[in-house]
Amino acid sequence: MESKEFLSREEHRRDTYKLLSECYYSPDEGLLNTLRESDTSRGSLYSEISKNSPTTNNVESLKIDYAKLFLGPYKLLAPPYGSVYLENARRVMGDSTMDIWYTYAEEGLRVDLKEAPDHIAIELEFMCFLISKEIEAALNSDSINTTRYLRKQKDFLENHLAIWVLEFTDTVEANAETEFYKHLARLTRSFIKKDLKRLSES
Amino acid sequence: MYKSSKELTRRNLLKNAAVVGATVTLGTTLKPVLRAFARTGRADYEVQGEWRPTTCQGCTSWCSKQVYVVDGRAIKVRGNPNSKVNGAASCPRAHMSLQQVYDPDRVKSPMRRTNPKKGRNEDPKFVPITWDEALNTIADKIMELRKNNETHKYLLLRGRYSYMRDIIYSRMTKIIGSPNNISHSAICAEAEKFGPYYTEGEWTYRQYDILNTRYIILWGADPLAANRQVSYYMSRWGDALDRAQVAVVDPRLSATAAKASEWLPVKPGEDGALACAMAHEILVQGLWNRDFVGDFIDGTNRFAAGKTISESDFEEKYTYGLVKWWNIELKDKTPEWAAAKTGLPAEQIRRVAIGYGKAGPHAISWVARGPVMQVRGAYASLACHALNGLIGSVDNVGGTLKANKEYTQSFPSEKKFLDEIAQAGIKHKKIDHRGRLEFPALNAGKSGGGVVTNNAADGILNEDPNEIRVAIGYMNNFAFSCTQSERWFKALSKIPFSVHITTNASETTWFADIVLPSNHHMFEKWGYVKSFANGYRHVTMNQPVIKPLWDVRTDETEIPWLIAEKLAERGFDNLLRHYREYKDPETGKIPTNEKEFALYALKHATHKLWDPAEYQGGDKFNGWEDFRKTGVWNSDPYPFRKRWGSMKTKTKQFEFYSETLKEALAKHAEKHAKSIDDVLAACNYEARGEKAFVPHYEEPYMYGNKDGLVFVDYKSRLNREGRSANCLWYQELKDHDPGDEAWDDVAKINPVDAARLGVKTGDRIRLLSPTGELECTAKLWEGTRPGTIAKCYGQGHWAYGEIAASEFGKVPRGGNNNDIIPADYERLSGSSAFFGVVRVKIVKV
């Protein structure tokens, strides 16, 4: 059995990826509730996001900003797809997308949303999934799988998410009109940077 | 739409509780459960892909295609070898479709406008909504019209289509109760059909037997680059050139002209003069075809310049009115006369006419949009096409052919579903003014039988004959593709509620209240189209070869069904009851949802092609699945010369003196209690009296200052009907259009004119016309006839996506040609005039 401290830290990482993931879906009441009810004691990121979380009366301006940045139609100001940054062809479903698709498939997962597999929200959630598997292994004192899933997280960040998330979050920060998305971009960037560093050092 | 977090939490607690294990207690309301994923429990992916059949509608060649799909992703495209029309050939457009379907700027979810103000400079501020919310809003708006007996204020605007079109275009509009289903046809090429109809009774495009021909005259046609059957002609043109001379009549050096034996850089608008002179020369030289046209009774050729001939001296066989034509128009139209009009040397006119005449009947006079989509283009359409009659190439080997017979069937009749409101509604006059004195639009002989697409904008703006309150448009972009397009900005802004169904949001979408994301026609939709070339006709299906990435629906089938369901919920179920009649021909099942409806409708329409029990001709299949896997049905081979003597004209003959046109004009005149001459005057034609019934020369009618350069608009080999400018390859490969530059929009000026104007290559210039202006880059190019300025259509998007515009929403990449072309018409066919219609002034920026 791993230490309580280790588990708590991994749960925190897992939940942070999950929360970030949720923030990159189209904003609605559900998201607002999530943000409102988030346990700010769980770390600075939670409280930081909550601090700038929108209220019900400005959800429409958040939606407008969301559409312009990530959904369209027309020019996406910050395309949320890895392939756009990794392949220099401004299209979805590139070879890097399929690489992710296979990575998911190897974990016995397939994308069950009408979205490209390298959408930021999906990649963030995949990290959450890998950490969950790591925790599960840790709880079972399965150190081989604990290490294996830690390794997978590092590989995924190094081969996918962390390569493009810096450019992506810079783009979001530069183009967002609402503080919420500007701030979300900053938090996403700093969290992933730190997380990758930690994984690399461990 | 994405699922809301609320739904998700509930759903995933059930779905994926096992993922994290119950032992972990979270301190938040957010469960670390999976929202984006489903667990398959195994790594299942394909090792090998599959070629799946579908159809490319990047232009109206409508080629049958195959798409290579691996793990649900479309990788590459090739011609469907099962098609006898296009075979394995593909033009560049087909490949670009991959960039369209995977364009991150596509419409991915239904959207609602939040900015109540509409205009060119009003950001619509769209927000995502659910399909349910979108459909409810649309149904409420339609019900409001029905409640107020105002169903004629509903408008359906149709751009490109598949033959599933009638479901949304005709059936839905009529059952709601509106006369206003407005198609794009009149900005396409209706004037091109005018010549063939009023000579041989076919209101349609033609196919050309290029493998058996010895001479081809192309009138503004550029078959190696644009419309129609580009794939086929690209693959076989080399074989044709082995046997045939090709002469291209075009003020600019087209892709085909670059490979031709003769280039005739005609002055814009003077094609009719050239065609008349060629006809004159063919007759004077005695090169007409005796088997088809007949001969002088005594065998002596009496056609001599300036000489009138007695009709009784000539005995026609399968034609009508040759001597009348000669006497009324041709006798004085010598090559020397035409040389002065066209700016071409008389010897070249003579040489081409004689070469063409001698090659007859295995020779083709190939009419495209250029010479005919002009204010006075209808008679050029007649004159150019009549050359086929003279040499007997109509319906003949190596000549010009109509479409082969096919056996698709129409959808069930809507008649019994029209209630009193609808019956009253459809009796109103249409918004495009077709059939008025100044808009005969004589499609297939009927006054007001055709559409006047572009004039609908004026109808809407002036509320003439009534206001439009609710509009739905699909696969169209009239705010870009119609001339003097700012009229559409205003018209669309004026409509209180409009919906745009589209794959990519465009300039038209900018003015919409609701945007509905449409399937991509080549990868995600059930449908079919018909097309012909190579002596065959094929019926090829649009098929969903991949699962759509986003939350899209099919424009022509699924969306009208979903609207019908919503209308039924509101107590008006006529449309849904009608759609329920589209049963699956295999099982007799009634459709219960939009997906079944889309499929059954297609199976119904193509029933006689795939069901062996219903077999009529052409390819034979074992059943639906056999047809679906093959993707295309081919007709029987072309039956040459079957129509000689039984054409669908008034006289049954090929009419040089068109009794058919005379009757159509007379009926239209009579409807307005006017004379035919009054009609001609209202339509801005010069002809009076008998001249109106024969192919003849009309002086071109142009806007702009006389010292300006005549603007020459043409199509790119990369245009997927104006929908490809947001594709990277479009911009990167733009220099594959002769004279063009990558990532730019260049206006090509002859160096002679450029020197006079002090313009050099690379200068930023502004083109000014009486109705608008645009900015682009100057390019000195000898492929432009002096006195003209040539610019390809397709650039100038300001609202299409990241790549299409220079600065999205604000600065277009180059300029839209339609911004400087005035909205005028070839009124006899209803066509918009795109060519030889405006002179522009050039200023350096």
List pLDDT tens digits, range B553-578: 999 999 999 999 999 999 999 999 99
Q: Residue B340: its pLDDT value, please?
A: 98
Q: How many CB pairs under 8 A join A and B?
A: 199
Distance of residue B105 Cα from the nearest chain A Cα, in angstroms: 5
Q: Which residues in B lie closer than 8 A to residue A15 (C-beta atoms)?
A: 26, 28, 30, 32
Q: Token pair 């150019």 is at which residue?
A: B384
Comparing B128 with B11, the larger pLDDT belongs to: B128
Q: Which residues in A lie closer than 8 A to residue B549 (C-beta atoms)?
A: 92-93, 114-116
Q: What share of chain B in percent tops pLDDT 70?
A: 95
The closest alpha carbon to B468, from B441, B445, B491, B501, belongs to B491
If contacts are CB pairs under 8 Å, which of residues 20-39 in chain B contact chain A? 20-21, 23-24, 26-30, 32, 34-39
Confidence of residue B9 (pLDDT cuts 50, 70, 90): very low
- For residue A98, give the nearest of B23, B42, B73 by CB distance: B73
If contacts are CB pairs under 8 Å, which of residues 345-404 in chain B contact chain A? none
Residue B73 has pLDDT above 50, yes or no: yes
Q: Residue B19: its pLDDT value, please?
A: 35
Comparing B14 with B26, the larger pLDDT belongs to: B26
The closest alpha carbon to B474, from B87, B168, B220, belongs to B168
If contacts are CB pairs under 8 Å, which of residues 128-157 in chain A contact chain B? 128-129, 132, 135-136, 139
> Measuring CA to CA, how many Å separate B150 from each of A139, B361, B425, B469?
69, 56, 7, 9
Residue burial B420-434, b: 16+ Cβ < 10 Å; e: rest: ebbeebbebbbbbbb
Contacts of B252 (CB under 8 A, 6+ apart): B265, B712, B714, B739, B748, B783, B784, B785, B788, B790
Residue A87 has pLDDT above 50, yes or no: yes
DSSP for B557-589, please give it: THHHHHHHHHHHHTT--HHHHHHTT---TTT-P
CB contact under 8 A, B36 and A111: yes
Evaluate whether A149 touches A67 at the Cβ level (below 8 Å): no
Kindly state the average pLDDT of the residues B835-839: 97
Confidence of residue B48 (pLDDT cuts 50, 70, 90): confident
List the single range of B11-20, B251-260, B445-454, B480-489 with lowest mean pLDDT.
Answer: B11-20
Residue B546 has pLDDT above 80, yes or no: yes
Return the number of other C-beta atoms located less than 10 Å from residue A193's C-beta: 15
List the single range of B105-114, B220-229, B628-637 with lowest mean pLDDT.
Answer: B220-229
**Beta bridge mates, A110:** B38
Q: Classify residue B170 by its DSSP letter.
A: I
Whether the upstream peptide bond of residue B585 has omega within 30° of 0, thus cis, is: no
Three-state SS annotation for B794-812: CECCCCCCCCCEEECCCEE
Kindly state the average pLDDT of the residues A95-120: 95
Mean pLDDT, rounded, of chain B = 94
Confidence of residue B721 (pLDDT cuts 50, 70, 90): confident
CB contact under 8 A, B36 and A22: no
- Measure the CA–CA gap between A201 and A193, rounded to whole angstroms: 12
Kindly state the average pLDDT of the residues B821-828: 98
Kindly state the average pLDDT of the residues B716-733: 94
CB contact under 8 A, B20 and A132: yes
Amino acid at B653: Q
Comparing B723 with B42, the larger pLDDT belongs to: B723
Amino acid at A106: E
Q: Residue B6: its pLDDT value, please?
A: 36
- Measure the CA–CA gap between B333 and B278, rounded to whole angstroms: 9
Confidence of residue A73 (pLDDT cuts 50, 70, 90): very high
Evaluate whether B163 touches B527 at the Cβ level (below 8 Å): yes
The closest alpha carbon to B490, from B462, B516, B449, B451, belongs to B462
Distance of residue A92 Cα from the nearest chain B Cα, in angstroms: 5
Task: Determine contact: A59 vs chain B, CB below 8 A.
Answer: no
For residue B113, which phi and psi values (nearest 5 degrees)? -70, 135
- Measure the CA–CA gap between B104 and B800, rounded to whole angstroms: 12
Residue B102 has pLDDT above 90, yes or no: yes
Residue B454 has pLDDT above 50, yes or no: yes
**Which of A12, A75, A81, A102 is the best substitution to test chain B (most B C-beta atoms within 10 A)?**
A75
Evaluate whether B5 touches B36 at the Cβ level (below 8 Å): no
List the single range of A48-57, A191-200, B813-822 with lowest mean pLDDT.
Answer: A48-57
Q: Classify residue B167 by its DSSP letter.
A: I
- Measure the CA–CA gap between B842 and B773, rounded to whole angstroms: 10
Kindly state the average pLDDT of the residues B283-311: 98
Which residue is closest to A39 within chain B, CA to CA? B28
Task: Determine contact: A109 vs chain B, CB below 8 A.
Answer: yes
- Tokens representing A60 are 């429409």
Evaluate whether B338 touches B331 at the Cβ level (below 8 Å): no
Q: What share of chain B in percent tops pLDDT 90?
A: 93
> pLDDT tens for residues B602-626?
999 999 999 999 999 999 999 999 9
- Measure the CA–CA gap between A69 and A61, rounded to whole angstroms: 12
Return the number of other C-beta atoms located less than 10 Å from residue B235's C-beta: 18
Amino acid at B508: T
Q: Residue B2: its pLDDT value, please?
A: 32
CB contact under 8 A, A73 and B107: yes
- Measure the CA–CA gap between A110 and A101, rounded to whole angstroms: 7
Q: Classify residue B716 by its DSSP letter.
A: -
Query: Helix A143-156 vs helix A120-139: angle between axes, to the nearest 10 degrees?
Result: 170
Confidence (pTM):
0.95
Residues in chain A, overall count = 202
Mean pLDDT, rounded, of chain A = 91
Task: Determine contact: B805 vs chain A, CB below 8 A.
Answer: yes
Residue B10 has pLDDT above 50, yes or no: no
- Angle at CA B609, nearest 5°, toward B605 and B614? 95
Interstrand relation of B63-70 and B73-79 (parallel, antiparallel or unpaired): antiparallel
Q: Residue A42: its pLDDT value, please?
A: 61
CB contact under 8 A, B803 and A42: no
Kindly state the average pLDDT of the residues B490-497: 98
Evaluate whether B484 touches B823 at the Cβ level (below 8 Å): yes
What is the set of domains in chain B, with CATH numbers? Answer: 1-44 (no CATH), 111-186+429-512+554-613 (3.40.50.740), 206-402 (3.40.228.10), 709-844 (2.40.40.20)
Q: How far is CA A19 from the centre of its chain?
A: 8
Confidence of residue B22 (pLDDT cuts 50, 70, 90): very low
Evaluate whether B831 touches B190 at the Cβ level (below 8 Å): yes
How many structural domains are present in chain A? 1
Interstrand relation of B788-792 and B746-749 (parallel, antiparallel or unpaired): antiparallel
Q: Give first-to-last CA distance, chain A, whole Å.
A: 18
- Measure the CA–CA gap between B452 and B432, rounded to whole angstroms: 6
Kindly state the average pLDDT of the residues A47-60: 71
Return the number of other C-beta atoms located less than 10 Å from residue B743's C-beta: 15
- Tokens representing A185 are 């971009």
Residue B270 has pLDDT above 50, yes or no: yes
Q: Residue B44: its pLDDT value, please?
A: 63
Q: Residue B45: its pLDDT value, please?
A: 67
Q: Residue A44: its pLDDT value, please?
A: 59
- Measure the CA–CA gap between B173 and B430, rounded to whole angstroms: 12
Handedness of CA B87, B89, B92, B98 (dihedral sign): positive
Which residue is closest to B70 within chain A, CA to CA? A98
If contacts are CB pairs under 8 Å, which of residues 5-34 in chain A contact chain B? 11, 14-15, 18-19, 21-22, 25-26, 28-31, 33-34
CB contact under 8 A, B27 and A42: yes
Residue B57 has pLDDT above 90, yes or no: yes
CB contact under 8 A, B23 and A139: yes
CATH number at residue A177: 1.10.3480.10
Q: Which residues in A lie closer than 8 A to residue B18 (C-beta atoms)?
A: none
Q: Residue A56: its pLDDT value, please?
A: 66
| ipTM associated with this complex | 0.95
Which residue is closest to B21 within chain A, CA to CA? A136
Task: Determine contact: B645 vs chain A, CB below 8 A.
Answer: no
- Angle at CA B587, nearest 5°, toward B582 and B589? 45
Domain encompassing residue A146: 4-201
Q: Residue B296: its pLDDT value, please?
A: 98
> Measuring CA to CA, how many Å separate A137 from each of A142, A147, B31?
5, 9, 19
Q: Residue A40: its pLDDT value, please?
A: 63
Kindly state the average pLDDT of the residues B292-313: 98
Residue B439 has pLDDT above 60, yes or no: yes
Residue B702 has pLDDT above 90, yes or no: yes
Residue burial B547-565, b: 16+ Cβ < 10 Å; e: rest: ebbbbbbbbbbbbbbbbbb
Kindly state the average pLDDT of the residues B377-383: 98
CB contact under 8 A, B32 and A91: no
CB contact under 8 A, B128 and A115: no
